[in-house]
Amino acid sequence: MVKYAVIGTGWITQSFIDGAKISGRLSLEGVCSRDENRGRAFAEKNGAGKVFTSVEKLAQSDVEAVYIASPNAFHTRQTVAMLEAGKHVICEKPVTITPAELVYLQNLAEKNGLVYVEAIMYMFNPVRDVLRNALGEIGAITSANLDFSQLSSKYPAYKRGELPNIFNPEMATGCLEDLGIYCVYPAVDLFGEPKNIKASASFMASGADGSGGALFEYDGLSVNLTYSKLGQSRAPSQIFGDKGTVLLESVSKLTGIKTVFNDGSEKILCEEVQKEQLMGFEADGFADIIENREKNKEFYGLLRKTALGTSRAMQKIRSQAGIEFKYKPLTEV
């Protein structure tokens, strides 16, 4: 069992803890929260014995690994503190804001003999292999539409005049960083880094991007990405081949996937999977890399490579679309 702690007490942290319980390979030892009362309540709810009110105190503890689910703007510096303290890290997406930061942290983890990965459901989901195999059955692929548009539960608060973190550029957040990344990841994983990117965004009064899109251009292939936190998608993502089409109801969870061939026949590839189980795949994969580094050398290398390719693509999208954050990258990078 890998002894771990969490930074953050939101719903995504709860989902990871629930997933880790399904995995059975990680033991929750502590919770880190600036609010001691909130941290203690969260720890008691989940059976954790320790509460930390600062990242520094967590770094001094005997936990072996840390799951980071703080606002985006804190990811890099908190990760540095954990890696320098000898702790493995799985950090929520986006793992860093800039590719340069990611390279710095990957090198730091390697130097210290530690595992450092991005908590992205897509890469740890076993259905990813099913999807990749399905693409081999639909012939020559020339285009794809990948969409993740989901009306934010925080939008009513924003309309009331509040400023949730997700709509606050000072936290390095917005639609691209929250939902768009779930479109970028499969594009990079399935088709590689694009030769060219064209992107645009629609901005909210807070300065955050509320929706946007990007066109990834490859030789003989174009992939259109769309994402929004201000509206709800009702149509599936699609990957088009000359022998059939793969449809995905959820590009983030890889659920509701089927292939429709040109003769009208269909093949169901995956239906529904509970969110806790998806997070369980993440937790299990993280623990397995820690405990069996050599066996997972190839997969770990793929995780690092795809994370960096995704980060580079995200930076290009932001530049094209005019997305800016009030964020200062690490001076060391």
Asked if the model's pLDDT at residue 331 lies above 80, the reply is no
Assign domain 2-122+278-321 one CATH number from 3.40.50.720, 3.40.640.10, 3.60.15.10, 3.30.365.10. 3.40.50.720
pLDDT of 86 > 90? The answer is: yes
Q: What is the mean pLDDT of residues 75-86?
A: 98
- Residue 275: the pLDDT is 81
Mean pLDDT in residue range 89-96: 98
pLDDT at 273: 84
Give the mean model confidence (pLDDT) for residues 7-36: 96
The architecture that CATH gives domain 126-276 is 2-Layer Sandwich (3.30)
Instruction: Considering the chain, tell me which residue range(s) the CATH 3.40.50.720 domain(s) occupy.
Output: 2-122+278-321
Closest CA to 260 of 244, 241, 271, 249: 244
pLDDT band for 326, please (50, 70, 90 cuts).
confident
The answer to whether residues 137 and 263 touch, using CB atoms and an 8 Å cutoff, is no
The CATH 3.30.360.10 domain(s) of the chain lie at 126-276
pLDDT attached to residue 332: 54
- Note the pLDDT tens digit of each residue in 142-175: 999 999 999 999 999 999 999 999 999 999 999 9
In this prediction, what percent of the chain has a pLDDT beyond 70? 99
- For residue 327, is pLDDT > 90? no
**How sure is the predictor about 310, in pLDDT bands with cuts at 50, 70 and 90?**
very high
Task: Give pLDDT tens digits for 203-234.
Answer: 999 999 999 999 999 999 999 999 999 999 99
Q: Is 333's pLDDT higher than 80?
A: no
Q: What is the pLDDT of residue 189?
A: 98
